[in-house]
Chain A
């Protein structure tokens, strides 16, 4: 029962299904199951590390410089991007060649930046959430939410791209309608 409750809670705060954040990235990665899972995992790393950095930004940035929040978030994500690419390069050249595409796709997109801004807004509304635990947990939650959405899409990917679907609706349009129906179900859960 605990697991079911947790799953419902995760779905209810899912950034893709409730706010459409990262949908474009999900579709870009959807052309293969391997790509989708790889991208979802890298996005989880970005949202987790990004939320860690966002906490320090939100805590230390004076109110009068709040317009620079986006710039600092972008800089932070850029630094994580370079660190991940460099780490992968030094660990294994083969892995670097095989996995760098996931890092390129995952760095700057609505899923990562949207997560940071969602956490930022929640903390602005409720100051009790302005702590590192809450930020990192929200970051992990967003990443896991992306993985769940990726799995939901993967489950129907082959059917939505099959010849049984009219050619105009095959692929992206069918996937959008499918996500809409799943999103409607999640909306009912809230």
Chain B
């Protein structure tokens, strides 16, 4: 039961799709330089991925792998259309701001490839929550990246000027995104390894006392 529960939460704990598997990192690197962009990407990624994976879960499992991958990509390409229309309606300017990364989110590897490997082996309800936590994991990283890079590169947070003396303007560029994400990824691994050590230490102590 605990194992099942931990695997449902994996997406925001030990298996964050951006920091652990480096999936969907292009938008984080290029567009994650401001909080506004990050919000736009969070909206697009969350809605497209959740809807696409839920619809794709009804595709017969017996079909050949290549055919299923194509069907998943086509489903997400169709889901992209109403999401884009809604985005233009409710968040004007979002499509322009994010540019080609908006449609690219629709063919992300979480939808096209990881669905087979991770999600469709589960029953519908656990699958829904597992996908949800993977999506939340992406959203957290995206928003954190947006806030920190905007603060350090432009000296603003959500467009509001802050009282910061030193700016690192290179962080707004793709190369800054690469380096920042690399550092975040290393930090995430360090924290994860500390926690996994603690858990294993607690387990080993419990085993000894048990004897």
B17 to chain A, nearest CB (A): 10
Contact mask A111-134 → B, CB, 8 Å, 1/0?
001100110010000000000000
A12 to chain B, nearest CB (A): 13
A59 to chain B, nearest CB (A): 19
Cα of A180 to Cα of B181 in the assembled complex, Å: 9
Checking B23, B69, B174, B179 against A108 with a beta-carbon cut-off of 8 angstroms, the contacting residue is B69
Give chain B's interface residue range (CB within 8 Å of chain A): 35 or more
A168 touches B100 (CB 8 A): no
Is A43 close to B, CB under 8 A? no
Is B80 close to A, CB under 8 A? yes
Q: Decide: A85 near B84, CB < 8 A? Known: A71-B74, A74-B77.
A: no
Cα of A182 to Cα of B70 in the assembled complex, Å: 34
Is B112 close to A, CB under 8 A? yes
Q: Decide: A74 near B185, CB < 8 A? Known: A19-B30, A24-B22.
A: no
Per DSSP, are chain A's interface residues mostly helix, strand or loop, or mixed? helix
B74 touches A184 (CB 8 A): no
Chain A residues with CB under 8 A of B22: 23-24, 27, 172, 176
Is A177 close to B, CB under 8 A? yes
Q: Decide: A20 near B78, CB < 8 A? Known: A74-B73, A104-B69, A108-B73.
A: no
Is B187 close to A, CB under 8 A? yes
Chain A residues with CB under 8 A of B74: 71, 74-75, 78
Checking B67, B70, B174 against A20 with a beta-carbon cut-off of 8 angstroms, the contacting residue is B174
Chain A, range 49-88, C-beta contacts under 8 Å to B: 67-71, 73-75, 77-78, 81-82, 85
Contact mask A82-103 → B, CB, 8 Å, 1/0?
1001000000000000000000
The segment from B34-42, B101-109, B146-154 that touches chain A is B101-109
28 A-B residue pairs with Cβ-Cβ distance under 8 Å, sorted by A, are A20-B26, A20-B29, A20-B178, A23-B25, A67-B84, A70-B107, A74-B74, A74-B76, A74-B77, A74-B106, A81-B70, A108-B107, A108-B112, A108-B113, A109-B109, A114-B100, A117-B104, A166-B186, A168-B189, A169-B186, A172-B22, A176-B182, A177-B182, A179-B178, A180-B178, A181-B175, A184-B179, A187-B173
